[in-house]
Chains A and B, each alone.
Chain A
Amino acid sequence: MGVIVGKNTRAIVQGITGTQGSFHTRLMLNYGTEIKAGVTPGRGGQQVCGVPVYDTVEEAAKVQDVDASIIFVPARFAANAAFESIENGLKTVVVVTEHIPVKESIQIIARAKRRGTTVVGPNTPGIIVPGECKLGIMPGHIFQQGVVGVASRSGTLTYEIAAGLTSAGLGQSTCIGLGGDPIVALGFVDTLKMFRDDKQTKAVVLIGEIGGNLEELAADFVSTEGYEKPVVSFIAGRTAPSGKRMGHAGAIIMGKAGTAKGKIEAFKQAGVDVAEKPGDVAKILIERLRK
């Protein structure tokens, strides 16, 4: 059992007929994810990897028993795609699409809150419960079932750290990509709460980066509420200059706000371990779990 998704998740792929959509549908099916339907307006009646395609989410949800969606729709149309899934009552919506304007992301998140939908992203590699469900674009073979909950603002860096955990014999309960945008639906505090309540999760890894204050909020949460499971973090961007966007739209230091230094200090003060290098995360975690 993972958080947000699991072996009972039955998903729709929005934008299934596109290059990314069809490619990752195949990989998700290979991983064992139950993909029940695809949606691309105007392509209803077709099939992709044996998955039936519908024109709208409404139609797909009428015919198929589904509770989640993953979106590969181009940025200009992605917000509408998300609204469609939210308004049709899906429980989980994973927005992989990058470059969605902030104005739309704000609307997606507000509408999801109103309807009680959990949104992951935007600009996320998705979410994986190793061995059960992969609703995302991450390479599945890196991950292994286990007890570490991972939440991250970055894709490849998550793979780097997860691969390190796996080869150290530390499997993962769930890995959640929060997304690289300035505005994302889930923060570290949300995921800390989920992992706290999840029985399988025995330890948590938070992978942060410069920009915004999700890490500071998490540090604040840990120090005010306390956290029984060990938490280890890594923050990327110690060498990043102020005022420059480092690849991700959300990875930008504004004046003196959002620096790696500030985040590292906040975590340390809250008693959260901070790894110096990605490879150190597994080492620290093994020590913490031994205690």
Chain B
Amino acid sequence: MRLHEYEAKEILSRYEIRIPEGGLATSLSRVREIATELHPPLMVKAQVLVSGRGKAGGILFANSPSEAETVAKRLLGAEIKASKVRFLLVEEKLSVKRELYFGVTVDRSNQCYVAMASSTGGMEIEEVAVAMPEKIIRFLIHPLDGFHSHDAVEIARKLGYSNGPRLKLAAILGKLYQVAMDYDGELVEMNPLVETVSGDFVAADARLIVDNNALYRHPELEKRLREQRTEASVLEMKARQKGLAYVKLEGNVGVIGNGAGLVMATLDTIQLHGGKPANFLDVGGGASMAKVAAALDIVFSDPEVSTIFVNILGGITRCDEVAKGILMKRKRSGFVKPIVIRLVGTNEEEGRRVLREAGVPVMDSMEDAAEKAVELAIRRG
């Protein structure tokens, strides 16, 4: 779960990491109020969960409260990369001496957390990693040792700092690691962490992505994720409520399958046959008939979908249960679009019998079924 900049900054400031003076606004009058109490120049930042927000025009500058209101008017309610702007962060613009990058994230191949620092603050760290990898300091944090102030001091030294500033920076890095641990951060970063002309270090932008699997430890975030409508479509929300893994794509062949790998391979096979998948939907292992019917509801109700492909290879999932789910859906609202079903594996005979008796054809090869689904989709246009 990715938090908004303002939320991430609130958390950092609770750990005594400095953030710019400012406040959050949802209305123009509030923007003006906040701006009046700040020292210009000011920044007005759209709070949207997309990358490349700045380049997409989501960060604007102002030299007075009235100008802040004018630029806020352009942002509030607008769409930045298809994400609607509901909140604005109004802040004092920092006087920058140097821009740094500080982050803590998960290193998948080394199976540990990694602290990262760079003197190239403000750039996307992935881009830095490609263009000038030598600029990134990576410190692998051994899980049984933890991250100690000595390690942080060393990183600050490598960035070229000494004495007081070095200790100041090291303390910030230590706190950032603490945030990562306390909030189950997949990624916590300050980019840039600004060294101001007056010698302070301030997190000018912050990002925090919390491990979804750890949300039970953060009930306040879990609640917000459930209610959050800004980043998920209606269908995605519905799928989440039913415990289905769903991702909307751009094509017209709706896909339902069991198992993430199999569903991904199904999408790929559709594309190989010249079709375009409309979605990824994994019903998971051992799905009940109700869950299968709910999955069909979601995919059928997508207006972009012209044909549906159900690809089930039963392991823990039982084919008879899937068959009943398919019939449950048909009874409820009929098949208003063509559906191709591939059903093999556990209790396959029973599942096929149930469908056959109801007049629903079933196939047994994934590739043949994918080809047929694509053919139907192309014919329907």
Q: Complex formed: what's the CA distance from A239 to B109 in Å?
A: 24
CB <8 Å contact, A137 and B247: no
CB <8 Å contact, B109 and A247: no
Dominant SS among interface residues on chain B? mixed
Q: Complex formed: what's the CA distance from A258 to B346 in Å?
A: 33
A114 within 8 A of B: yes
Indicate the member of B126, B267, B316 with the most A CB atoms within 10 Å. Answer: B316
CB <8 Å contact, A277 and B211: no
In the complex, which of the residues A76, A137, A240, A254 contacts B315, with contact meaning CB atoms closer than 8 Å?
A137
CB <8 Å contact, B264 and A182: no
B124 within 8 A of A: yes
Indicate the member of B143, B144, B314 with the most A CB atoms within 10 Å. Answer: B143
Q: Complex formed: what's the CA distance from A239 to B126 in Å?
A: 22
CB <8 Å contact, A111 and B144: yes
Provide the A3-30 mask, 1 if CB < 8 A to any CB of B, else 0.
Answer: 0000000000000000000000000000
User: A103 and B264 in contact (CB under 8 A), knowing A160-B366, A187-B109, A277-B367?
Assistant: no
In the complex, which of the residues A157, A163, A210, A239 contacts B259, with contact meaning CB atoms closer than 8 Å?
A157
How many A-B pairs fall under 8 Å by CB? 172
B113 within 8 A of A: yes
Q: Complex formed: what's the CA distance from A249 to B184 in Å?
A: 14
How many Å from the CB of B88 to the closest CB on chain A? 24
User: A101 and B211 in contact (CB under 8 A), knowing A107-B143, A155-B259, A183-B111?
Assistant: yes
CB <8 Å contact, A154 and B259: yes
A168 within 8 A of B: no
Q: Complex formed: what's the CA distance from A182 to B108 in Å?
A: 6
CB <8 Å contact, B184 and A257: no
User: A276 and B272 in contact (CB under 8 A), knowing A155-B315, A160-B313, A210-B264?
Assistant: yes
Q: Complex formed: what's the CA distance from A76 to B215 in Å?
A: 11
CB <8 Å contact, A251 and B265: no
How many Å from the CB of B329 to the closest CB on chain A? 21
* A212 partner residues in chain B, CB cutoff 8 A: 108-109
In the complex, which of the residues B186, B213, B259 contacts A156, with contact meaning CB atoms closer than 8 Å?
B259
B263 within 8 A of A: yes
Q: Complex formed: what's the CA distance from A114 to B143 in Å?
A: 11
Q: Complex formed: what's the CA distance from A109 to B245 in Å?
A: 27
Of the listed stretches B161-169, B171-179, B277-285, B299-307, chain A binds B277-285
Dominant SS among interface residues on chain A? loop
A286 within 8 A of B: no
A100 within 8 A of B: yes
Report the nearest A residue to B264, measured CB to CB. A236
CB <8 Å contact, A183 and B264: no
B27 within 8 A of A: no
How many Å from the CB of A206 to the closest CB on chain B? 12
* B112 partner residues in chain A, CB cutoff 8 A: 106, 110
In the complex, which of the residues A101, A109, A209, A255 contacts B261, with contact meaning CB atoms closer than 8 Å?
A209
In the complex, which of the residues B181, B249, B262, B344 contacts A154, with contact meaning CB atoms closer than 8 Å?
B262
The number of chain B residues touching the other chain, given as a range, is 35 or more
B269 within 8 A of A: yes
A279 within 8 A of B: yes
A75 within 8 A of B: yes
User: A241 and B247 in contact (CB under 8 A), knowing A100-B213, A137-B316, A212-B109?
Assistant: yes
CB <8 Å contact, A103 and B214: yes
B271 within 8 A of A: yes
A234 within 8 A of B: yes
CB <8 Å contact, A249 and B268: no
How many Å from the CB of B262 to the closest CB on chain A? 4
In the complex, which of the residues B113, B214, B268, B366 contacts A239, with contact meaning CB atoms closer than 8 Å?
B268
A229 within 8 A of B: no
Provide the A174-218 mask, 1 if CB < 8 A to any CB of B, else 0.
Answer: 000000101101010000000000000000000101111110010
* A159 partner residues in chain B, CB cutoff 8 A: 313, 315, 345
Tell me the chain B residues, 360-381 only, with Cβ under 8 Å from chain A: 365-367
Report the nearest A residue to B315, measured CB to CB. A139
In the complex, which of the residues B142, B265, B313 contacts A234, with contact meaning CB atoms closer than 8 Å?
B265
| Across the A-B interface, the 7 shortest Cβ-Cβ residue pairs | A154-B261, A247-B260, A156-B259, A157-B261, A101-B214, A236-B264, A110-B143
